[in-house]
Amino acid sequence: MTPTQRKKLVVAHSLREGAPLHEIETNRALARWLAQILGLTFGGSYDPDLHAGRALYLLPTQTLVGPDQARALNINGLEDLWGGYVDHDFICTKAISHGLLGPEAKAPEGWSALFCERVRDVVLDGLSVFALEDARPAATRLLYSGPVRLKPVHACAGRGQEVIHSLDELDAVLARPDAANVFNQGVVLEQDLRDVVTHSVGQSFIGEYVFSYCGEQYLTKDGQGEDVYGGSNLLVVPGDYDDLLTLDLADDVREAIQQAQVFDHAADEAYPGFYASRRNYDIAQGLDSDGQRRSGVLEQSWRMGGASSAEVAALQSFINNPGLRAIHVSSVETYVDQPLPADAIEVYRGPAEHSEFLLKYVTVKSYDG
């Protein structure tokens, strides 16, 4: 941290209107933890009356969108937040992963065809749709090669997704009362894979510290029995992706890292206003309807995410032990009330948005014993 950065307050900021308690409290817990690690003061949750115009290090729960929002929060670049900034809302969603149906298809302001060209070889087959009338033609094209996963671009933790096997199934979706609103906000139609492993690949830039990681994420059942995000197991190194790739990694992991790098570089090139100090990418590897292996980036997370607690734990390990080459860290989310495992670090315990109970914790293990 520079002398100027050491004067900053670390402040949590829950940006989602009506955000559930677990999201707000997790945000506060990570901001408090990060402040302690960096030797800074924790300033609580963002309050415009208290914090406007002050030098802040912000932990927003969502990517900042547009210059007005960034200016209001006194955020000018990477050194001011652990998260990201984009000029337009769609850029921080799943929508950018795929191209449009054609030149006449509806597109949001600021859409970049260049990005779609750059990432074509590192994503699955799919199309992004921003109008109800474009949905059926897009699905018709994709269904020729197998089932299609329908993903509203603002949904998170795997919620709201469904698999479409035929045009009749799609027509039933299009007939729903909220269909026009959902598709106008943006929906990704993407080939569905089976036997999927989801890799997490990313980097964080916090003060003078840089660390990179790879790992896998997994699902769990929430209180309603729905499959949702259950945690991530990460292998983290201090330094860049080149440092990560010096480790003994499986070929599928190396492929995931390289695909994430292409996606990351494309974002910098195609959206020049974009910046992010937390860059996380989900890469799915599985079998398509013909039994062929496929691998592709699903989406990006330029904000606090499920693995953020594991990243903070890794940072603390590297600061406390400067000679560490790598560390294993895991973030866990369970909807079953249970005692905290030995040596785990509790992040949140209490009610959840869709369940009566949620426990979040982190574990740390050595890389080489």
What is d(CA 31, CA 350) in angstroms, rounded to the nearest whole number?
18
For residue 306, pLDDT beyond 70: yes
pLDDT in tens, 104-141: 999 999 999 999 999 999 999 999 999 999 999 999 99
More confident residue, 192 or 2: 192
What is d(CA 213, CA 309) in angstroms, rounded to the nearest whole number?
13
For residue 158, pLDDT beyond 60: no
Specify the range with the lowest mean pLDDT, choosing from 153-157, 217-221, 352-356, 363-367. 153-157
pLDDT at residue 289, rounded to an integer: 94
For residue 157, pLDDT beyond 60: no
pLDDT in tens, 283-297: 999 999 999 999 999
Q: Give, in order, the Cα–Cα distances in Å from 321 to each of 124, 309, 324.
A: 40, 18, 6
For residue 351, pLDDT beyond 80: yes
Nearest Cα to 41, choosing from 50, 239, 14, 344?
50
What is d(CA 132, CA 50) in angstroms, rounded to the nearest whole number?
44
For residue 1, pLDDT beyond 80: no
pLDDT at residue 156, rounded to an integer: 66
For residue 369, pLDDT beyond 80: no
pLDDT in tens, 247-279: 999 999 999 999 999 999 999 999 999 999 999
Q: Which tokens is 164 given? A: 């479409």
pLDDT at residue 162, rounded to an integer: 92
pLDDT in tens, 65-91: 999 999 999 999 999 999 999 999 999
Nearest Cα to 260, choosing from 91, 101, 92, 123?
123
What is d(CA 272, CA 266) in angstroms, rounded to the nearest whole number?
10
- One-letter amino acid at 246 equals T
Cβ atoms of 190 and 318 closer than 8 Å? no
For residue 341, pLDDT beyond 80: yes
pLDDT at residue 4, rounded to an integer: 47
For residue 54, pLDDT beyond 90: no
Eight-class DSSP state of 92 = G
pLDDT at residue 3, rounded to an integer: 45
- One-letter amino acid at 61 equals T
Average per-residue pLDDT for the chain: 94
Cα 6 to the center of its chain, rounded Å: 28
